[in-house]
Every structure is written in C-alpha cells, then in structure tokens.
Structure 1
Amino acid sequence: MDTSPYLQSRQRLVPAPPRAVFELLADPAMHPVIDGSGTVRAARGGSPDRLRLGAEFGMDMRLGVPYRISNTVVEFEDGRTIAWRHFSGHRWRYELEPVDGGTLVRETWDASRLKHKWALRVLGFTRTTPGNMERTLERLAAQFDGGATPS
C-alpha cells in the first residue's frame, strides 16, 4: 500500500485471464457495474465501445447531485495496462499481471500532481478512495467468479 493520501493503490486476484479482465476495463459501459464508490452511473453517449490510447469518454456521475465527467486514456498497453485522466488531472490506472489462478489487478488513484490537492482532503476523497478501490476490485472479481456482484 502507498502512504501518500494522494497516491493510493490496491490489488486483488481476479479469477480470469488478463485478456478478459482487460476487455472489461476497456469497456466504458462496464464502469458503472464495477464501480465501488457508487458514483459512476453510466457511460455518456458518444463514448467509444472500447477504449484505446487517446480515447475520450464521459461518464454520468452522482455524488449528492448529478454531474458529468470527461476522461482521456493516457496509458494503454493492450491486455496489460490502462489509465485515464480526469479533466482535473488525477488518474485511475489498472495494471494486470498473469498469476496462477487468474490475474493480479492493481488499481492506482494518483492525485499527486494536482495543484489544489487540499480540496480532495477537505471533500473526503483521500479518506474514502482506498475503500472504494477495494470495493471496485471486489466487484471486478465478482464478474468472473460466478457470484453475484456485491452491493
């Protein structure tokens, strides 16, 4: 685990091959299904069916009130790594490593480059993001283990 509140990582074994996990992560329509924060509602119209380097996609969100967010894919190694950057500059990154029993998935939230990091702390994101990431990875794994998606 990382120690900075603005750079957090979590990992989990997902019982599926890296290709299957990557295809799910590269599909914006699946993001609400695996989101552990409860804020991602739907991929916005005009989002690509499959992400690629440089792809722009939007999400309908809700955190108290509905809002929209835009993202750009900034890292993409097919079957291995995908990361997108929000308009404010923080990144969500997924790294996939084949292991016995499936894929080790490491999710990283990186807000370390933001100018106004204090706002994330005041709004509680530095406190809630680690648990949200753990729930996301749990929901991701549930897509492949035959169990129901956790609520």
Structure 2
Amino acid sequence: MRHKSFEGMNCPIALTLDEVGEWWSLLIIRDALHGLTRFDEFQQSLGISPNSLTRRLNALCDAGLLARHRYQDRPPRDEYLLTDRGKDLQAVIESIAAWGRRHITQRDGAVRLQDTVTGLEAEPVLVDRRTGTAVTPDQFRYVATQAAPPIKLAKMPHA
C-alpha cells in the first residue's frame, strides 16, 4: 500500500521518507549494511514475502540506494549492493538503532557497530560538524527560513 507522496513539501525529512520511509526499506538497507546482498539472504533475515521483497528491492534500486548486479546467468540471479547514496543512510540507521537500544530493547540486539581499530563497541551520537558539539534539544534549536510554511513561521524563531 503506497502512502501519500510528500513530493510537494519543502522538507528534507518528508522527501527522504518518500524514498526510504516504508519500514521494509530501512530494514533492507540495515541488512545490506550488515553485508547481506542476495534475495534469499534478505528474505531469510526479514521473513518478508517474495513479492514484497521484489517490490522493495526494485524501489531501492530505482531510488539509487541499491545497485543490482547479476552474479549468475543460469538461472538468472542478482545481488543488491549499496551505492554511495545507500551507504550514506548508515548514520540514519545507527541513530534509530541507538534510540531503540536506549528506549526499547534495553541494550539487547544481535548486531553492534564496532570500531575496526580499537574493537570497542561504538556509541554513535549526532554532532555538529563545525563545533563537534553533540546535537541535543537543550543545545540546539530549530529556526524557520522564509521557505517554511506560515504555521512554522508564526511559531518558530527565524533564521
């Protein structure tokens, strides 16, 4: 079932959700980040129906997040590899995972992000690139630009 398109919104969150907001999409991207590449691997990991998986893989390829590569001709078999655009979703996936470990699973989970040099488990945080300051509601605020809808211009400070 397709949701309403957010195409007309001038919002990076809404427009990103148009491409990856369907829950299977983010789980497929998660699994691709974990090294899964083949249809049967995704299906086994997710328990998703073949038709749904085919639709999601096609949509992720169309969006430029995965690239389809033929690895066998008889019978034809494809693998799905993350593009640079897809790899850029790692920060989003890790942010969701960190929130889930903190608020939902109480640190349970089968996979962790580990520093390849130290071997330590990573604890990702969102930081401001300019200052290195952790982004928190207490430290940062949202401001409306002139492109914001009237309701936000009325309620928020302006840039």
- TM-score between the two structures when normalised by the length of structure 1: 0.25
Larger Rg: 2
- Structure with bigger strand share is 1
Normalized per residue, the structure richer in helix is: 2
Highest RCO, 1 vs 2 (Cα 8 Å, sep ≥ 6): 1
